[in-house]
Structure 1
Amino acid sequence: MTNAATQRPAFPFAALIGQTPLQQALLLAAIDPGLGGVLVSGPRGTAKSTAARALAELLPEGQLVNLPLGASEDRLIGTLDIETVLRDGSVRFSPGLLAKAHRGVLYVDEVNLLPDALVDALLDAAASGVNTIERDGVSHSHDASFVLIGTMNPEEGELRPQLIDRFGLMVGLQNCFEPQVRQQIVKARLAFDLDPQGFRAGYTEQQETYIQRIRAAREALPQLHFDDAVHAHVSALCIDAAVDGLRADLVMLRAARALAALEQANAVTTEHVERVAESVLAHRRHDRETRAGGDARESEAPRQAADDADAASSASSLDTTPDAAAGDSDWGYLPPQPAGVAQVKGVIPLNAKKR
């Protein structure tokens, strides 16, 4: 675990350049951790980890917990405290990283390389805000409300569709090929590396503004509701994207509400929905024609197989001539082949007792 007091100064969130979609997604997840976290996909060197560390500073606790790739399930969710058992003979729960990440940021680099069991546990806790352990004689639940940020390089492998769909939001980053933007990013990074505290001092006011906006948005969140027009627009977008299930609808509504709260709006509007739709649908979208064609082929396959079987049965019952038997009805079979017969020497029979 790392916190703001002990770690190397983080690059300011307000100083990120050319990362507007990522900044919006991270802020929405900070306002409503129940969104299910943010998956950040992109090549190396696109500031994925820098943005995650920068967000942690904006939260009240300023806490960032890293989940290493080699972590076990016990290390993540917690387990029986063996030392207490051996010393006192009593059952005691030893908290894991999910407990330490409560009210902070849980950062998972290369989440696509984690075992599926760990990703499942992460996403369950991120969506529910509760970690439940039923193992090793321990039955325990505790709050685990955190902002989950998973980063991955698609060149190193993808997440299974069943897992990637459970991330609330996704942002895809690309290499920057605009000379002016590239120069601005490099200059800012060099200035930060040369004098971290001096660089951060120039963004103090903007950082404080972000902190206040997150706090105010969290308080305003329960008062914002959705009208029928918003529901209808969300349904239309999700149907057009041919998403699986209803998770996309729920996440889109919650993300739009978080954006409205961030901007101190009086109500959630279809404009808010439009602005969060891409991050909700980016990893869930399917091609409707391909999906419809695939479903049609799957539904026609059993019927076609049955029709073929009926046709074959009818042909075999009606066409019993020798030509038919040696023709189409025997596809794949070779005609009988003569085989030589060899004389075998006589065998001495066993007596009755040995049989």
Structure 2
Amino acid sequence: MNLTKNTVERERPIFPFTAIVGQEEMKLALLLNVIDPKIGGVMVMGDRGTGKSTTVRALVDLLPEIPIIANDPFNSDPYDLDLMSEEARNMLQNGEDFIISTIKIPMIDLPLGATEDRVCGTIDIEKALTEGIKAFEPGLLAKANRGILYVDEVNLLDDHLVDVLLDAAASGWNTVEREGISISHPSRFILIGSGNPEEGELRPQLLDRFGMHVKVGTVKEPNLRVQIVEQRSSFDKDPIQFRDTYRSSQDNLSQQIKDARKRLSQVNIGYELRIKISQICAELNIDGLRGDIVTNRAAKALAALKNCEKVTPKEIFMVIPFCLRHRLRKDPLESIDSGLLVQEKFSEIFGYTSK
């Protein structure tokens, strides 16, 4: 049965990303991670009812298409060996032809009660022993390869499972071992987590593994609150008509993301700026080099989004709080800095303030 686009939208209407107001910090962090997935994902923390999940799921409409090997459970890239499954690489070595198709970058939701087998996949031991073949049932990490893995209430997830997700996100591979049988497959994805700080923070060691951390607060401006309520009412009344209103802005932003992804490799960040970024990280006593790396990547992604080929202090000023604020906390009982401390150190070293 063929479903039209409007039919799908009527079944599962998604609030338009460009219609969301008052959460610019979260929106920018999500866009930068789509432009450069190597930033390392984003942790979104905020009050209940502030649109965290709505904003993340609204990102789906904007995601560009990617080429895949048809019928491959790992969304294997037909042009990149590092992003191919073992079966796809074997086909290539044997000179077999691929059927290539395109899909939108996938977004996978990880349920809070998911088991490790559901996340990582399972091996059919009986089939492996009796038939001598590696019978593997792919999990969510396979489906999320080359896409986005969204974990709502990630701070309530078992620490071991969070470790598994972060290890896969960092290495780009997922390995499942059972009874001496080992299977690996590519699993490169953007990890997006959200949560309510009242229900507890992640341990500093886990937070550090997220490329960015953004805070989402309840909108205080009465006029803006009324606008948000009216928008939501209009969407609930007629989702299709509401989405049509934002069709042009959605298409424009989607094209902007697509262009930025292509332009990213051409963006340069000067040596002096990189030195100052590392000086900020050093003077703030940030452990490791993740802060330096992510800030450089995020600044370049923002420059690409703005159609620039050179990073300026302005781009660094905008992204550096997202990249460093969660790396300042050494004690699990401490609260995460709002970003003011990072901005003060930036202004001291760069001699630059936002106008």
Q: TM-score, structure 2 length as denominator?
A: 0.75
Q: 1:225 to 1:92 in 2, by over 3 A?
A: farther
2:157 alignment partner in structure 1? 114
From 67, 70, 78, the equivalent of 2:110 is: 67
Matches within 5 A, 1:328-347: none
Query: Aligned letter for 1:41?
Result: M
Q: How many residues align?
A: 285
CA distance in 2, matches of 1:84, 1:205: 52
Please say which structure displays the higher CA radius of gyration.
1
Contact 1:46 1:173 in 2 (8 A): yes
Contact 2:295 2:316 in 1 (8 A): yes
* Structure possessing the higher relative contact order (Cα contacts under 8 Å, 6 or more residues apart): 2
2:60 alignment partner in structure 1? 56
Query: Aligned letter for 1:113?
Result: L
The DSSP-based 3-state class of the residue aligned with 1:158 is coil
Query: Aligned letter for 1:56?
Result: V
From 15, 28, 35, the equivalent of 1:24 is: 28
Report percent identity of matched pairs: 52
The answer as to 2:300 corresponding to 1:257 is: yes
1:332 alignment partner in structure 2? none
1:196, distance to aligned residue in structure 2 (A): 0.5
The answer as to 2:245 corresponding to 1:202 is: yes
CA distance in 2, matches of 1:9, 1:102: 25
Q: Give the RMSD, CA atoms, in angstroms.
A: 2.2
Matches within 5 A, 1:61-210: 61=104, 63-81=106-124, 84-85=127-128, 88=131, 90-210=133-253
- Shifted more, 214-223 versus 84-93: the winner is 84-93
- Shifted more, 38-47 versus 137-146: the winner is 137-146
CA distance in 1, matches of 2:166, 2:324: 18
1:277, distance to aligned residue in structure 2 (A): 0.5
CA distance in 1, matches of 2:41, 2:127: 34
Contact 1:241 1:285 in 2 (8 A): yes
Q: 1:83 to 1:53 in 2, by over 3 A?
A: farther
Contact 2:125 2:179 in 1 (8 A): no
The DSSP-based 3-state class of the residue aligned with 2:44 is strand
1:178, distance to aligned residue in structure 2 (A): 1.2
Q: 1:224 to 1:131 in 2, by over 3 A?
A: farther
1:34, distance to aligned residue in structure 2 (A): 1.5
Contact 1:165 1:284 in 2 (8 A): yes
Unaligned runs of 5+ in 2: 66-103, 331-355
Query: Aligned letter for 1:22?
Result: M
CA distance in 1, matches of 2:284, 2:291: 10
CA distance in 2, matches of 1:16, 1:178: 15
The DSSP-based 3-state class of the residue aligned with 1:69 is coil
CA distance in 1, matches of 2:43, 2:160: 17
CA distance in 2, matches of 1:162, 1:196: 41
Query: Aligned letter for 2:214?
Result: V
Q: Structure 1, residues 149-184: CA drift from partner, whole Å, max 9, x if none?
A: 100101111111100111111111111221011011
1:286, distance to aligned residue in structure 2 (A): 4.9
CA distance in 1, matches of 2:144, 2:329: 34
Contact 2:153 2:193 in 1 (8 A): yes
CA distance in 1, matches of 2:329, 2:279: 14
Matches within 5 A, 1:238-317: 238-286=281-329
Query: Aligned letter for 1:152?
Result: G
The answer as to 2:54 corresponding to 1:11 is: no
1:205, distance to aligned residue in structure 2 (A): 1.0
1:226 alignment partner in structure 2? 269
Q: TM-score, structure 1 length as denominator?
A: 0.75
Q: 1:89 to 1:111 in 2, by over 3 A?
A: same
1:86, distance to aligned residue in structure 2 (A): 7.9
2:47 alignment partner in structure 1? 43
- Shifted more, 70-79 versus 11-20: the winner is 70-79
1:117, distance to aligned residue in structure 2 (A): 1.5
Q: Structure 1, residues 103-158: CA drift from partner, whole Å, max 9, x if none?
A: 33211011011111111121122233332334444333322222221001011111
The DSSP-based 3-state class of the residue aligned with 1:105 is strand
Query: Aligned letter for 2:118?
Result: R
Contact 1:14 1:203 in 2 (8 A): yes
Contact 2:173 2:187 in 1 (8 A): yes
